[in-house]
Amino acid sequence: MATGWFERLLGTIAERGRSWIRIPTDLPPLERICALARNLVSEKGEASGAALADAVLELYRSLDEASRDRFLETLATEYAPDPARLAEAAGRYLAEPGAETASALAGAADPPRQELLRRLNMGRGGTATLIEMRETVLARLHEAPSLLPLENDLKHLLMSWFNRGFLELRRIDWHTPAAVLEKLIAYEAVHEITGWDDLRRRLDSDRRCFGFFHPALDDDPLIFVEVALVRGLAGAIGPLLDPVRPSRPGKPADTAIFYSINNCLDGLRGISFGNFLIKQVVEELKAEMPGLRRFATLSPVPGFRRWVETRDGAFEGPLGEALEQIEAEASELDPDMALRLKRLCAEFLTASNEGRGPADPVARFHLRNGARLERINYPANPSPRGIAESWGLMVNYLYDPEKIEAYHEAFVRQGEVAHSPEVAQLLREEAGLGVANLLPFGATWRH
């Protein structure tokens, strides 16, 4: 990662502070880092604090896995609020509720661990290391629930440091530094980038790529979106991903298709950037190309197959037999079976679920952002992954700038899914068929 001006500033401060601190060398690494952490949380000087933060981070990065786990456990258990101080502040607030006693209570409840993490963030590479630390904590949390206080504090601080006000939207093209382009290849998790030629095609004149960046992680995109500029609503992923298909001049594009959105850093899981990214990219594209009339996605439906397979009698009857056949032979459903599959997917993606909305994570992301379920496409993705997730179905979500907020409010308040007349027709056909005929294979409907 290239060193930005802020990292250089922190480095200068830390170097000046080294003469003010003593780093013990006669202790084992785990005891040494714990001692340095205790000193850091009590240090008052800025330069000496930066030097201590540097020392803790450098030592943390050198620890073996077992020592890291023990250090994380120490952070989670030994930097809690002082019980006596907290009880006293709570008693004062209960006896005399008010702004002053509430502020004192909040201060008493603030764990020293948060202050330690804030000070670590002032060391060189501190932000990146804390993100990696949270990634480790999230991976361990299931087996080590005692790490939950540390996870809560890390998430709280990272949400503050990575709020939209600190993020910079950048267009990524073939002239972007190679360090960033390499990250696109590494981080692409929706549709694999097979190499530099493939990447170059995805950054061609009829394509766009945008990412959010943070000053502390200058060459690391936090999230990026790939866009195809086309005419009409794209219903299949193959033509968009074809690395040898040249960009063809002709009639100007009227539609922007968002076909891949990737969160890049596991340590920032649960900190959402995607809603801001899509809306800002829509505005950027409208300003650049006023002729664009539609902004839509071509999205997978990763929860669809799991949803179908929870039903009794799965893979029985004509549709079940047809689905098994396309998996075995890499073939396609006939039009009648394809229509029945699309009807079933329409029901899945518009389910209210007592106000929670559909269970599919991609659907929830776009619907929460104010999109409309526009079209269900088959065949759209015949890749092994596409077949495994949804038997080749993909979905268009439409972002109408005039209606985004209304659709968002309807979804988050009632779980109401805005959908097009085409999807409404699929739902009416499903109702006309009746549950027994719609469900694959004679299954029993279960809400």
**Based on the domain organization, do 132 and 274 belong to the same domain?**
no
Distance of alpha carbon 13 from alpha carbon 125, whole angstroms = 14
- pLDDT digit string (tens) for 228-241? 999 999 999 999 99
For residue 217, give both structure tokens.
Answer: 């992680």
Q: What is the pLDDT of residue 440?
A: 35
The region that residue 232 occupies, defined by phi over 0 for left and psi between -120 and 50 for alpha, beta otherwise, is left
Whether residue 447 is contained in a domain is answered as no
My answer on whether 183 and 228 are in the same domain is yes
Which of 239, 267, 297 finishes a domain? 297
Q: How much is the pLDDT for 11?
A: 54
Q: How many domains does the chain have?
A: 3
Show the 3-state SS of 126-168: HHHHHHHHHHHHHHHCCCCHHHHHHHHHHHHHHHHHCCHHHCE
| Residue 213 in domain | yes
Among 16, 48, 52, 13, CA closest to 34: 52
State the CB neighbour count (10 A cutoff) for residue 391.
26
Q: List the strands of the sheet with 294-297, edge to edge.
A: 168-171, 207-213, 223-230, 255-263, 294-297, 394-398, 372-377
92 and 181 Cβ atoms separated by less than 8 Å: no
Query: What pLDDT, on a 0 to 100 scale, did the predictor assign at position 354?
Result: 85
For residue 379, which amino acid is it? P
pLDDT for position 262:
95
Q: Which amino acid is at 38?
A: R
Burial 66-97 (b: 16+ CB within 10 A, else e): ebbbebbebbbeebebeeeebeebeebbeeee
Per-residue pLDDT of the chain (447 residues; tens, 9 = 90+): 444 554 554 555 445 445 445 666 678 999 999 999 998 988 664 557 788 899 999 999 999 999 999 999 999 999 999 999 999 999 999 999 999 999 999 999 999 999 999 999 989 899 999 999 999 999 999 999 999 999 999 999 999 999 888 999 999 999 999 999 999 999 999 999 999 999 999 999 999 999 999 999 978 999 999 999 999 999 999 999 987 765 555 689 999 999 999 999 999 999 988 888 999 999 999 999 999 999 999 999 999 998 988 876 656 678 888 888 887 777 788 999 999 999 999 999 999 888 888 999 999 999 999 999 999 999 999 999 999 899 999 999 999 999 999 999 999 998 999 999 999 999 998 766 544 343 333 232 222
CATH number at residue 356: 3.40.630.150
The span from the CA of 274 to the CA of 224, in Å, is: 8
Looking at the fold, whether 150 and 259 belong to one and the same domain comes out as no
Query: What does the block give as tokens for 22?
Result: 């003593």
Q: At what angle do helices 112-120 and 65-78 cross, to 10 degrees?
A: 130
Before 379, cis peptide (omega within 30)? yes
Q: Which residue in 235, 232, 181, 179 sits closest to 203, CA to CA?
A: 181
Structural domain of residue 322, as residue ranges?
304-442
The count of other CB atoms within 10 Å of the CB of residue 139 is 12
Specify whether the backbone of 397 is left (phi greater than 0), alpha (psi in -120 to 50) or beta: beta
Residues 290 and 321 in one domain: no
Q: What predicted TM-score, i.e. pTM, was given to this entire model?
A: 0.85
Q: How far apart are CA 399 and CA 274, in angstroms?
A: 13
The reply to whether 416 and 293 lie within a common domain is no
**Residue where a domain terminates, one of 258, 275, 297:** 297
Res 245: pLDDT: 66
Q: For 208, which DSSP code?
A: E
In terms of domains, do 127 and 223 share one? no
Q: Are 40 and 53 in contact (CB under 8 A)?
A: yes
Query: The CATH number of the domain where 249 resides is what?
Result: 3.40.630.180
The CATH number of residue 47's host domain is 1.20.140.90
CA 73 to chain centre: 26
Closest CA to 48 of 12, 88, 81, 21: 21
pLDDT at 85: 94
- Coil vs helix vs strand at 311: coil
Q: Is residue 67 domain-shared with residue 138, that is, in the same domain?
A: yes
Residue 33 half-sphere exposure, CB side, CA atoms within 13 Å? 22
